[in-house]
Structures are given as structure tokens and as C-alpha cells.
Amino acid sequence: MSEDWLLEAAGGNAGLLATMRQRVQQGEPPAYVAGFLYFRGRRFRSDPRAYVTDPELSSLIDRVLMEGDRFEAEYGRAPQVLDFGVGAGTLGITLKLERPAWTLCGLDIDADALSLAAENASLHGVELPLWHSDMLSGWPQGRPPPDLIFGDPPWGSETDLYTDEGRDADYYHRMPAASAYPKGGRTAIHDGLVAAVVARGWPSLLVLNYGVLPEAVIERSARALNQRRIEHPVPGVSHLVGRSAA
């Protein structure tokens, strides 16, 4: 897959291809070297301003589509959806392209990542309001809570890795500091988001990736949500689906 990206980026220039392969061998994420990544068949600009979306996140998109469609069938209107930790915008833009009637917005603590998300939204011609925000602090005052909040907040420690070769701890250390390996514990950002949603009394449905973390760790992180379930799109990968219901 990443070799295909390098071939495309090199455009038949053998010298450039050799240099790119060398950079990848030295540990640079292939998406940064190519300048783009593909996700669900679409091309997104990629550079060190933002995290490189993991391919496993396609199953999170499937989950959000399922939950959003269910919402639409039940309430007779399209959901308002927040991409928490939007990064380069890959996930939110994908959803907007696959469900144009839905309202999508995104937030991130990292202003550089947001600048790349804005570029990607423009390249794909989609409207994606973006806010600079630590947790939910930047959510515009007076704006109703989103119906659905989803994302892949940073999780885990250096030994919690997807099984794919090439994405080792060093690979993730090449990403922006706020995007991988949260300070404060393996689920610190998820815990903070759950606490913020509960504290605001938001009825939003949360759909969060917890990657390869053990079920007991996820249960502890999400225990403040009185409705919750853990789904496994593939063995060993977990999504939380839950809400704090009155």
C-alpha cells in the first residue's frame, strides 16, 4: 500500500523514488514522504502537521454511518456530528462525502492539524467548520450539543500497537506530540471527553476508537456513561458506543 503511494508520488522519477524509499526506511511515515494518504479510496493531503489516519479507522466510519443512519430513521432528520480530534480531517471529510445531508464539524487541540484539515476540506469541496479546542472548551457557546460525537482520540502507550508491520512506536513518535500516546495514561483523553460530555449533560451518542486496549481498561474509561457497549470490528480492535442518558 505505502509503496503504491511512493510510486504515485514519484511519478516515474527513479531518483526521487529511491530517495523516498530511503526516507521511509529511516522511519518517516510513508504518507509524509508521499505528501498524501488514501483512505476509503480518497486522497488526502498529509504532512507532519497532523497524524496519519490509521487504515483501521475505516471500520469506525462504518460504525458511525450505521449509528447516524439509525438516528435519521428514528428522528426523521440528519444528525449533527462532531469529529473529536479531527487531525487532518480525513474522517470528518469522509463522512461528509458519504452522507452529504449530515452536518459535520471538527475540533482539535492542535492548530497546525486544523490548518491541514481546512486544506483537505477545501480540496474535497466540503463544508467542515473547525474549532481550536482542548476537549470541548472551544465548542461555540449557545450551539446545541451534537447528536453524535466520534473520533480516534490518542490512546495507549508504546506497547499498544496495531499488528501491521511498519507502524511501531517510532512511527507514532514521528506524529505531532498531541496525537499519540496521551500523557496522563492510556485513556486520558477518552476519560476527559467522557467526563466533559457527562458534566455538560449532553445526550450525544459517543462512538470512540480505543484501538487495541483491553476491554477492562475501556470499561473503566467509559464507566460514567450509563448506556454503553464495546464492539469489535475485527478481533483485538475495540469501539465504544455509549451515551449518558438521564
Ligand X SMILES: C[S@@+](CC[C@H](N)C(=O)[O-])C[C@H]1O[C@@H](n2cnc3c(N)ncnc32)[C@H](O)[C@@H]1O
Distance from chain centroid for Cα 7: 26
- What single letter denotes the amino acid at residue 27? G
Residue 27 neighbours by CB under 8 Å, 6+ apart: 170, 171, 174
Site for ligand X in 54-73 (CB under 6 A): 57
Contact stretch for ligand X (CB under 6 A) within 12-20, 146-154, 197-205, 213-221: 146-154
The three-state DSSP-derived secondary structure of 191-225 is: HHHHHHHHHHCCCCEEEEEEECCCHHHHHHHCCCC
Of 30, 33, 8, 48, nearest to 175 by C-alpha is 48
Residue 51 binds ligand X, judged by CB under 6 A: yes
- Tell me the Ramachandran region of residue 102: left when phi exceeds 0, alpha when psi lies from -120 to 50, beta otherwise: beta
Measured from the Cβ of residue 164, the count of other Cβ atoms closer than 10 Å reads 12
HSE-CB for 118 with a 13 A CA cutoff: 12
Residue 94 binds ligand X, judged by CB under 6 A: no
Residue 88 binds ligand X, judged by CB under 6 A: yes
Question: Which one among 29, 30, 68, 151 touches ligand X, defined by CB under 6 A?
Answer: 151
Contact stretch for ligand X (CB under 6 A) within 18-26, 63-71, 133-141, 156-164: 133-141
Residue 238 binds ligand X, judged by CB under 6 A: no
Q: Shortest gap between Cβ of 95 and ligand X (angstroms)?
A: 11
Contact stretch for ligand X (CB under 6 A) within 27-35, 103-111, 123-131, 218-226: 103-111
Residue 85 binds ligand X, judged by CB under 6 A: yes
Residue 121 binds ligand X, judged by CB under 6 A: no
Question: Which one among 154, 221, 222, 239 touches ligand X, defined by CB under 6 A?
Answer: 154
The residue (of 10 and 151) whose beta carbon lies closer to ligand X is: 151
Site residues (vs ligand X, CB under 6 A): 50-51, 53, 57, 85-88, 90-91, 107-110, 113, 133-135, 151-154, 178-179, 189
